[in-house]
Amino acid sequence: GLERGRGEALQRLADSSRCMNEGETPFVVPVHAVESAGMASSVLNAYAYFGHPELWPRGFPLSQIAATREAQSSVVAQGAPSPSTADGTGCAMVGQFMQNGDPDVDAITRLTTYPDPMGKSPTVDLTFDADASMLLLEPFTYCPTNTQSTLHLRSAFMLMFIPMGVPFRVCDIWRGYFAQRLLWLIGGRTAFLPPVARQDRNPHSYHDDFMDELVLYKDTEAYLYFLSCWGPSPYATTLSDAAVELAEALADRGYWHGETVRGLVAFIQDMRMLGADDPALRNSSRSSTC
């Protein structure tokens, strides 16, 4: 049942948190294995890796769907490289699990694929590959994550904060990309893992979802470009330092609101009071792609 699924998810993420040179070899996608035209980074569709190349996660840049589909097929077909092809330092600190049933896709997919635009016919029943290896993306290769089936280890508690002042169906995606960029600064990764849960969505209007996701359709490419070009200042020495600097930069560009920065600072203070880890930045990880 649900409790068993939660326990299994925690165990899988705990197992995956071992560094690549200490644990089982995950499927590691090397830097820029999938090139993304016009972007300072790469993107990869985790849904394709887990058996559904016809779908993409909510928040995946629309301009890259066709561009990455063929290239990604060849990358996945190569099989898992040995740890020597990666940097040997990537540890999973956030785990995004696939969801069977009605997974998290954008409203464009639902409006053009699903039979009822009002979402009153729960006929979607998809299954992801339960036997696939954990998927790790190297720095500057992104994939959307949500808050529906995601776990953070203690080393990434500072990155659980969800930005305020942005649409409901955007805030968790913006947080996920934000977290991926910052994890790389401490040698961390977001892991994509097989399903441990099934989602049955409540009936609601797909058109309303579409309107709530307009920011994703319009700004995701620019958001990722900015994240990849950004780098922490010499004064940032810890994960929380870098998180505040990046939040301020995102607010200056209009992606986040000023209230979000103040909220993040308060959240970090609370996390410190609770004893959350605040890992040091790695000097070797401070570079950007611009």
The SS3 assignment for 205 reads coil
Q: Tell me: the pLDDT tens digits for 249-285?
A: 999 999 999 899 999 999 999 999 999 999 999 987 7
Q: Tell me: the pLDDT tens digits for 198-233?
A: 988 887 888 999 999 999 999 999 999 999 999 999
Contact 172, 146 (CB under 8 A): yes
Specify the pLDDT at position 39.
Answer: 52
- Residue type (1 letter), 67: A
Q: What is the CA radius of gyration of the chain?
A: 18
User: Tokens 């900015």 — which residue?
Assistant: 226
Residues of the chain where predicted confidence (pLDDT) is lower than 70: 1-41, 70-90, 115-123
Interaxial angle between packed helices 214-229 and 239-252, expressed in degrees from 0 to 180 and rounded to the nearest 10 = 120
Q: What one-character-per-residue DSSP string does 261-280 give? A: HHHHHHHHHHHHHTT---PB
d(CA 59, CA 140): 16
d(CA 37, CA 61): 11
Tokens of 49: 């890796």
Specify the pLDDT at position 279.
Answer: 95
- The residue ranges of every structural domain in the chain are 2-285
d(CA 109, CA 92): 29
Q: Where are the beta strands (DSSP E) in 30-158?
A: 42-43, 91-101, 135-137, 141-142, 150-152
Specify the pLDDT at position 88.
Answer: 42
